Amino acid sequence: MSMRALLLMVLALGAAPLQAGEPDPLQSVMWEHHHRNLLGGQAYVFDPQVRVELPPFAEDARQVPVLVDARALGDEVVRIEAWADLNPIPRIFTFVPGDEVLPLVAIRIRVEQATPVRAAVLTRDGVWHVGGAKVDAAGGGCTAPSVVRAQPGWEDRLGQVLGGRFPRGEASRLRMQVAHPMDNGLVGGIPEFFLNQAELRDADGQPLATMELYPAVAENPTLSLELKHDQPAQLWLRDNNGNEFEAAF
Amino acid sequence: MRLILLALALCLGLPAQAEFSYQLQPRQIAADTWLFEGSTDNFDKHNGANIVNTAFIVGTDGVLVIDSGPSRRYGEQMREAIGRITDKPIVKVLLTHHHPDHVLGNQAFADVPIAALAGTTELLREQGDAMAENMYRLVGDWMRGTEVLLPSETLEPGVLEIAGHRLRLLALRGHTGADLAIFDETSGVLLAGDIVFYQRALTTPNSPGLDAWLADLDTLQALPWKLLVPGHGPVAEDAAPFEQMRDYLGWLDGLLRQSAESGAELGEVAQAPIPPRFAGISLTRYELIRSATHLYPKYEAQALERIDRQ
């Protein structure tokens, strides 16, 4: 090999990380994989304006609270993807907030081990803004026996929604908890059975925000969203067996 | 080569063995009554999970042990330390509740009756292995050889005459659903188990509710005790631990209720400010994160209402 070829190789190697973007602040082995698969390998920046709030450790690996807050990016937000890097089922949700809904989601998830949790926020200029945090965990949350299925009569409560509306300045926080086992297919002999679609709608049934859910979401999903104003809202849900559920705030 | 190996062995082996000594020093706190006082820290690889108070009563014809500690090593070292105080035989071990820091030393007392409330044995059967695994994760090699050993006797609440002491056994529930407190009528010592934490934030992973816990505090405080031994933290001759417990439980209950009523998220509750008056209590933030996880869902459900189309 000539000296020049060697030099070129060294340069190419040195330059490669730059082409792949800035280094992952959470130093996760899975970042590149998820960037390619969930974000289509598109342009991104690690952006502290995307806040992902997690407890430092998971006291209950089956119910880990995650708050994703991209309000600092305001009306530029088109879509939010959230996932847990090291989960067997990494994806948590895809959220499209629309014009009347703030880019903020609180939800509870299952983690199988200590993992980074990420939110990637696509803005109108086509760039993903990525935030994240790490949670420590004893683990096993994804493969633990279902708590819901151990409760007699859970089938009768399927799709029941507990909800409430709480003022947040001009905005209005909608909290909801849906009775559903959110079976992820990883617990012995129980196939996937989970809520996979949610829509927040206005009084006329027009969508205000849409959400896809994945079975990293905890049993009996607890979810909070924020409307910019105090307008009426309805919730529509569907699971992967085609059951539909509706509620009104 | 042989020298290098020897040097390696010295570097790796000897300090490690020394590290696994809990340095247990029994302290006499009342007539016949001795305490092993643990730290008020969290489980970690430095303390080997010795964060707990265990005790023993040297009676006329034998020794009664209260709780066996967090690991097999602890139990064994505890038994050695008891042997330095008395050569009387150990006649019984009483377990206050099923949490790992109180019962995982049981193996060291396998030849002695180990007694607990029925609910404690049931909870240990259900949760013991998972709790022990988590202890290995938290404190590592200190746990070597530790396995869950279930109690061999069931305790009923009431009076237990043993080793010349008249003990009143109380079945309480605020901390885990099956909590034993032991009032030694002979010496006036109240061994409160984890119904009382002092200068160390209380833990709630199995608590049936804070109301039940507050009721248990009333029950215990009404006894004619002279010395109070909490499950965690220093002993007291006055009611300060009861007052701190009530203050803290009341604050926690109020925080959870008000948070739910104002629509707070679980993560927001865990980050709530902790009143300065609790500054002297160890691990309040850590335990608030845990307690919010355990307890907040019930408060949330009360603050929300059915909104689905039925």
pLDDT tens by residue, A116-148: 999 999 999 999 999 999 999 988 889 888 889
Probe site for chain B from A143, A222, A225, A246 (most B CB atoms < 10 A): A222
- Within 10 angstroms of residue A101's Cβ, the number of other Cβ atoms is 23
Contact flag A224-B289 (C-beta cutoff 8 Å) = no
Using one digit for the tens of pLDDT, what is the confidence trace for A15-65? 443 345 688 999 999 999 999 999 999 999 999 999 999 999 999 999 999
* pLDDT at position A222: 96
Assigned domain for B105 exists: yes
- Rounded to 10°, the helix B240-261/B284-303 angle is 50
The pLDDT value recorded for residue A212 is 98
Q: Do B301 and A59 touch (CB under 8 A)?
A: no
Q: If DSSP codes are grouped into helix, strand and coil, which group holds residue B260?
A: helix
Q: Is the pLDDT of residue B6 over 80?
A: no
Residues of B with CB under 8 A from a CB of A: 133-134, 137, 205, 262-263, 265-268, 270, 289-290, 293-294, 297, 300-301, 303-309
| Chain center to CA of B242 | 16
Please give the mean pLDDT across all residues of chain B: 94
B265: nearest CB among A67, A138, A162: A67
Q: What's chain B's length in residues?
A: 310
Residues on chain B touching A57 (C-beta within 8 angstroms): 289
Residues 6+ apart with CB under 8 A from A45: A21, A22, A127, A128, A129, A130
The answer to whether B300 contacts A222, with C-beta atoms less than 8 Å apart, is yes
- How far away is chain B from the Cα of A17, in angstroms, using its nearest Cα? 35
Task: With respect to residue B286, please indicate whether it lies within any of the assigned structural domains.
Answer: no
Percent of chain B with pLDDT over 70: 94
Name the band, by pLDDT with cuts 50, 70 and 90, for residue A188. confident
Range of the domain at B73: 24-240
Which one of B143, B269, B293 would you mutate to disrupt binding with A, by most A Cβ within 10 Å of its Cβ?
A: B293
Q: Tokens 């926690």 map to which residue?
A: B252
Q: Hey, what are B126's tokens?
A: 């259900």
CATH of the domain at B132: 3.60.15.10
Domains of chain A: 46-248 (2.60.40.2470)
Q: Is residue B153 part of a domain?
A: yes
Relative to beta strand A51-53, strand B33-36 is unpaired
A93 part of contact set with chain B, CB < 8 Å? no
The torsion angles phi and psi of A37, rounded to 5 degrees, stand at: -85, -40
Query: Which DSSP letter does residue B282 get?
Result: B
Q: Do A65 and B270 touch (CB under 8 A)?
A: yes
> Nearest residue of A to residue B266 by CA position?
A65
Taking a C-beta distance cutoff of 8 angstroms, is the pair A247, B308 a contact?
yes
Q: Considering the domain boundaries, does residue B304 fall inside one?
A: no
Whether A138 and chain B come into contact, CB under 8 Å, resolves to: yes
Amino acid A15: pLDDT: 42
- Note whether residue B184 is domain-resident: yes
Read off the pLDDT of residues B192-247 as tens digits, 9 standing for 90 and up: 999 999 999 999 999 999 999 999 999 999 999 999 999 999 999 999 999 999 99
Chain B positions touching A162 (Cβ under 8 A) are 300-301, 304-307
In this complex, do A161 and B290 lie within 8 Å of one another by their Cβ atoms?
Answer: no
What is the pLDDT, as a whole number, of residue A61? 94
* Dist CA B91 CA B93 (whole Å): 7
Q: Per the domain annotation, does B278 fall within a domain?
A: no
User: What is this structure's pTM?
Assistant: 0.89
Residue that the structure tokens 């009306």 belong to: A75
Half-sphere exposure of A136 (CA within 13 A, CB side): 6
The pairs formed by B276-285 with CB atoms below 8 angstroms and a separation of 24 or more are B277/B247, B278/B201, B278/B247, B278/B248, B278/B251, B280/B199, B281/B199, B281/B200, B281/B201, B281/B244, B281/B248, B282/B40, B282/B41, B282/B199, B282/B200, B282/B201, B283/B40, B283/B41, B283/B42, B283/B200, B283/B201, B284/B201
CA–CA distance, A199 with A219 (Å, rounded to integer): 19
A137: distance to nearest CA of chain B, Å? Answer: 10
Spatial CA neighbour of B196 closest among B167, B219, B168: B219
DSSP string for B4-49: HHHHHHHHHHHHHHHHT------EEEETTEEEE---SS---TTTTT
Is B249 domain-assigned? no
Longest C-alpha distance within chain A, in Å?
75
A70: pLDDT strictly greater than 90: yes
> Do the chains contact at A176 and B307, CB–CB below 8 Å?
yes
Nearest CB to A173: which of B133, B263, B289? B263
Q: Does A230 touch chain B (CB under 8 A)?
A: no
Q: Which of residues 168-227 of A touch B (CB under 8 A)?
A: 168, 173, 175-177, 222, 224
Closest residue in B to A138 (Cα) is B134
* pLDDT exceeds cutoff 70 at B271: yes
Within-domain flag for B224: yes
Q: Which residue in B265, B296, B305, B310 has the most chain A C-beta atoms within 10 A of its own C-beta, making it the best mutation to test that interface? A: B265
Number of domains in chain B: 1
